[in-house]
């Protein structure tokens, strides 16, 4: 199952990207019902590329909430262009998805 839902819309020379990422984003500070510490598990880097060129890099840590929502804008894209969003977490897990800008 894909962990990323993304929409990208170009309007007036500006592209708005909205993404929802399914991820537990555990800080390593919470405990489960038995009192055992839940290990840290969080996204460290999110990268967005437009036609293969980096338009956004976010370096995240434990302060980001579970199932994070990300929204940003950039210029220079047009409808039909390719947009790819990729994340990597502290356990080396990663996911990526590619969409066409509408």
pLDDT digits (tens, 9 = 90+) for 50-100: 999 999 999 999 999 999 999 999 999 999 999 999 999 999 999 999 999
**How many domains does one find in the chain?**
1
Nearest Cα residue to 51 out of 35, 29, 74, 31: 74
Whether residue 32 lies inside any domain: the answer is no
Q: What is the domain range of residue 84? A: 4-25+38-100
Whether residue 31 lies inside any domain: the answer is no
DSSP annotation string for 32-45: -TTSPBPPPB-EEE
Whether residue 33 lies inside any domain: the answer is no
Work out the mean pLDDT of the chain and round it to a whole number. 96
């Amino acid at each position: 199952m894909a962990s990323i839902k993304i929409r990208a819309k170009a309007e007036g020379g500006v592209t708005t990207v909205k993404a929802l990422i399914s991820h537990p984003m555990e800080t390593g500070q919470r405990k489960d019902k038995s009192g055992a510490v839940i290990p840290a598990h969080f996204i460290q880097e999110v990268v967005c590329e437009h036609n293969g060129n980096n338009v956004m890099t976010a370096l995240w840590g434990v302060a980001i909430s579970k199932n994070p929502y990300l929204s940003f804008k950039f210029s220079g894209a047009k409808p039909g262009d390719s947009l790819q969003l990729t994340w990597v977490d502290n356990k080396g897990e990663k996911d990526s998805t590619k969409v066409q800008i509408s």
